[in-house]
């Protein structure tokens, strides 16, 4: 009811364009309720089944399994049982309900978009926008000034107008796109810097004096790296920073799209929106993609580690897997970003308006200020930003992407988004009414290019969640072990009893004497057995050191790899089929609205017929009165 009241008020006071934003935001927030409920259920399912999870039990009881160090020199040998807490936390997010939730969220995204189309149709009908069409847009003055010497006949109006050749348009588009490409390269460079920070500080924290940090060096590295990443994201999100970087490096301004020279304002807006969204999307999600799909995948193995710039050993996953790093990345970034955005949306205009009132008091005095008419008080409020609703839409679309793209690794993301949006819709209403000047009302039939971006995010979410389940989580290795190598192999059964021995089967053996000199740990592991360790274990599927092919891949590795590829193909095709089926079955217009529109069309035809009949009858009476024949003219 509150969202309905908000967008009805915004319609009457601000116009249809802002009213549609509040209508869409209210609809999105309402649709988050089932997603948040199912995500919370998946998390609670992990909590209730924690004590019955065979994998976490084996990890917690593996006091005799000694793991190889996760970094060079300063990282010590450690018992696998020291990862007990991380194994339990991983089970909360990586359990039997994860695949179901990933499929549900892919279907949810489709249902959300399809039902929004129906909702938009109802709104357009109620607001008398069904038959409204934008008039022929005026040409932008910049475009007209640039191409005033080249003209051609407009096929609609038949009048001459400035014309841009196709080759010129393509060349300018390439030059303009180079700006966004440059900024994406800046983001990738920042991510590369964070990767170097992670591989360097693991050893630093491992040699730290404080035992709390020394014993949790990997978690400390991940936590600090996420905070640094958040600061970089917010820095690159500031528009003045973008302008300074771009104007000092290349003669292209992204936020003005000057080199591209769009013909009309709508073309300018669409070009600006698409480019800025791509940049902000890469800025927000690049580190998350690295952690999800690259962290711990290309590290090599003990004795033959792959190194960055032939110096730093690439970071490995925790003995309990990489999913805990992905959960930390998503949780911290999502909470910090939403908190910061809410503060800036309300706090920044409040501070600006307070400063304006302070200057007015100094200039006119307190009594003069109180005598201002209301229109002058409103004029002293902050003007709406030059990009209109772009920032509001961008914030919610990025949140939608964060909620759907990696939701298989963090089922609580929809719940966090829901809690934020309940506050967001109220903050936006308060900001528009009390902190900003009233903008000029404008009409619109839909949310524009943002709908296409939402559809693209929905498609991307299916692909990324398939890879998260297949590559990042341990769902596929556990499934292969249960049906092929476990105690239930060949019996067609699945359950916790079939997972007995999984942890030992997923660890390979390494001969400590085969360590490279630069990666050999300073401790020899004598604290575990009283004598130097001879063997340690690591996460991989490789042959033992005394086999015919030392440290070569085992047959189980290839079975797991084949199962992962098969799962990705089956999952994507299945979910895409479900999405297309749902989009086909759900009509764009509700039945009652279609009936109302047909009824209205019928009544209009009836009124036109009756009006024509009344005209003809009147004409007949006039001719009869004048004594003229009307027999041949009667229809």
Task: Say if residue 140's pLDDT is above 90.
Answer: no
Instruction: Judge residue 315's burial from the number of C-beta atoms within 10 Å of its C-beta, 0-12 exposed, 13-18 middle, 19 or more buried.
Output: buried
Lowest-pLDDT range of 34-38, 267-271, 278-282, 399-403: 267-271
Strands (E), 96-214: 151-153, 160-162
List of residues 6+ apart from 517 with CB closer than 8 A: none
Residue 386 pLDDT level (bands cut at 50, 70, 90): low
Q: Enumerate residues 6+ apart whose C-beta is below 8 A from 72.
A: 203, 313, 518, 519, 521
For the ranges 249-263, 500-514, 515-529, 610-624, which has the lowest average pLDDT? 249-263
Residue 247, pLDDT score = 44
Rounded alpha-carbon distances, angstroms, from residue 41 to 98, 108, 462, 550:
11, 16, 21, 45
Please tell me the predicted confidence (pLDDT) of residue 252. 40
Highest mean pLDDT among 188-192, 335-339, 565-569: 565-569
Lowest-confidence range among 99-108, 220-229, 416-425?
A: 220-229
Looking at residue 255, its pLDDT comes to: 40
Question: Are the C-beta atoms of residues 299 and 308 closer than 8 Å to each other?
Answer: no
- Please write the tens of the pLDDT for every residue from 275-314: 888 888 888 888 888 888 888 788 888 888 888 777 788 8
Nearest Cα to Cα of residue 103 among 57, 198, 38: 38
Q: In whole angstroms, what is the distance from residue 112 CA to residue 457 CA?
A: 12
Q: What percent of the chain has pLDDT over 70?
A: 82
Stronger pLDDT, 544 or 354, i.e. the higher one: 544
More confident residue, 249 or 75: 75
Is the pLDDT confidence value at 259 over 70? no
Q: Which long-range contacts (CB under 8 A, 24 or more apart) does 578-581 make?
A: 578/103, 578/106, 578/107, 578/110, 579/106, 579/107, 579/110, 579/458, 579/462
Q: Is the pLDDT of residue 95 over 50?
A: yes
Which pLDDT does position 368 carry in this prediction? 52
How far apart, in whole angstroms, are the C-alpha atoms of residue 173 and residue 170? 5
CB 290 within 8 A of CB 190: no
* b/e map 49-83, b = 16+ CB within 10 Å: bbeebbbbbbbbebeebbbbbbbbebbbbbebbbb
Binned at pLDDT 50, 70 and 90, residue 250 comes out as very low
- Tell me the C-alpha distance between 250 and 262, whole Å: 20
Name the pLDDT band for 566 (thresholds 50, 70, 90): very high
Q: Are 3 and 22 in contact (CB under 8 A)?
A: yes
Mark residue 439 as left, alpha or beta (left: phi above 0; alpha: psi -120 to 50; beta: remaining). beta
Q: Are 532 and 525 in contact (CB under 8 A)?
A: yes
Please determine, for residue 361, whether its predicted confidence score (pLDDT) is greater than 90.
no
The predicted pLDDT at position 7 comes to 54
> Are 24 and 116 within 8 A, CB to CB?
yes
Distance in angstroms (rounded) separating the CA atoms of residues 383 and 352: 11
Return the top range by mean pLDDT from 144-153, 167-176, 349-358, 611-620.
611-620
pLDDT score at 630: 45
Q: How far apart are CA 620 and CA 467, in angstroms?
A: 78
Select the highest-mean-pLDDT range: 1-5, 527-531, 570-574, 617-621.
570-574
Please work out, in degrees rounded to the nearest 5, the angle formed at the alpha carbon of residue 506 by the alpha carbons of 329 and 462.
45
* Across 548-558, average pLDDT: 89
Nearest to 556 by CA among 512, 598, 502: 502
User: Which pair of tokens denotes residue 504?
Assistant: 């030992």
The residue among 562 and 364 whose pLDDT is bigger is 562
- Residues found in the chain: 635
CA 283 remoteness from chain centre: 11
């Amino acid at each position: 009811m509150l969202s309905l009241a908000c967008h009805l008020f915004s319609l009457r006071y601000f116009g249809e364009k802002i009213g549609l934003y509040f209508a869409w935001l209210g609809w999105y927030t309402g649709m988050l309720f089932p997603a948040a409920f199912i995500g919370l259920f998946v998390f609670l399912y992990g909590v209730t089944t924690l004590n019955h999870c065979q994998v976490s039990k084996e990890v917690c009881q593996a006091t005799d399994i000694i793991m190889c160090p996760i970094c060079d020199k300063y990282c010590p040998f450690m018992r696998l049982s020291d990862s007990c807490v991380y194994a339990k936390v991983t089970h909360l997010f990586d359990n039997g309900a994860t695949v179901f939730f990933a499929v549900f969220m892919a279907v949810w995204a489709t249902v959300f978009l399809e039902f929004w189309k129906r909702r938009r149709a109802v709104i357009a009908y109620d607001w008398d926008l069904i038959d409204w069409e934008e008039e022929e847009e005026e040409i932008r003055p910049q475009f007209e000034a640039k191409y005033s010497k080249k003209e051609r006949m407009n096929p609609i109006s038949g009048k001459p107008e400035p014309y841009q050749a196709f080759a010129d348009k393509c060349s300018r588009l390439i030059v303009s796109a180079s700006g966004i490409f440059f900024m994406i390269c800046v983001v990738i460079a920042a991510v590369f810097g964070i990767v170097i920070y992670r591989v360097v500080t693991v050893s630093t924290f491992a040699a730290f004096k404080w035992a709390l940090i020394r014993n949790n060096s990997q978690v400390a590295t991940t936590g600090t790296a996420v905070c640094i990443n958040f600061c970089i994201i917010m820095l690159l999100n500031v528009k003045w920073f973008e302008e300074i970087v771009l104007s000092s490096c290349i003669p292209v301004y992204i936020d003005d799209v000057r080199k591209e020279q769009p013909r009309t304002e709508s073309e300018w807006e669409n070009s600006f929106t698409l480019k800025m969204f791509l940049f902000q999307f890469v800025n927000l999600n690049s580190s998350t993609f690295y952690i999800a799909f690259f962290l711990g995948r290309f590290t090599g193995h003990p004795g033959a580690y792959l190194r960055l710039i032939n110096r730093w050993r690439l970071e490995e996953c925790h003995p309990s897997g990489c999913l805990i790093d992905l959960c930390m990345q998503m949780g911290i970034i999502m909470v910090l970003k939403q908190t910061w955005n809410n503060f800036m949306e309300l706090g920044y205009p409040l501070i600006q308006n307070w400063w304006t009132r302070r200057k007015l008091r100094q200039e006119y005095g307190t009594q003069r200020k109180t005598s201002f008419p209301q229109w002058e008080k409103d004029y002293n409020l902050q003007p709406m930003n030059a990009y209109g609703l772009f920032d509001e839409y961008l914030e919610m679309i990025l949140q939608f992407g964060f909620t759907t793209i990696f939701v298989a690794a963090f089922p609580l993301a929809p719940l966090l988004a829901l809690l934020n949006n309940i506050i967001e819709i109220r903050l936006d209403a308060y900001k528009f009414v009390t902190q900003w000047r009233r903008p000029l009302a404008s009409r619109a039939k839909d949310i524009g290019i943002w709908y296409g971006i939402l559809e693209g995010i929905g498609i991307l979410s299916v692909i990324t969640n398939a890879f998260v389940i297949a590559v990042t989580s341990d769902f596929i290795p556990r499934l292969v072990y249960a049906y092929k190598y476990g105690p239930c192999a060949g019996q067609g059964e699945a359950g916790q009893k079939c997972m007995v021995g999984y942890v030992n089967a997923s660890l390979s053996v390494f001969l400590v004497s085969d360590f490279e000199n630069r990666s050999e740990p300073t401790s020899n592991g004598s604290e575990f057995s009283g004598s130097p360790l001879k063997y340690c274990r690591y996460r991989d599927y490789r042959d033992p050191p005394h086999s015919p092919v030392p440290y070569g891949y085992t047959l189980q590795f290839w079975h797991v790899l084949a199962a992962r590829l098969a799962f990705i193909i089956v999952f994507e095709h299945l979910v895409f089929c479900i999405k297309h089926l749902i989009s086909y079955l759900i009509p764009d217009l509700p039945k009652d609205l279609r009936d109302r529109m047909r009824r209205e069309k019928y009544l209009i035809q009836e009124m036109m017929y009756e009006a024509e009949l009344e005209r003809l009858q009147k004409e007949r009476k006039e001719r009869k009165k004048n004594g003229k024949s009307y027999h041949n003219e009667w229809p």
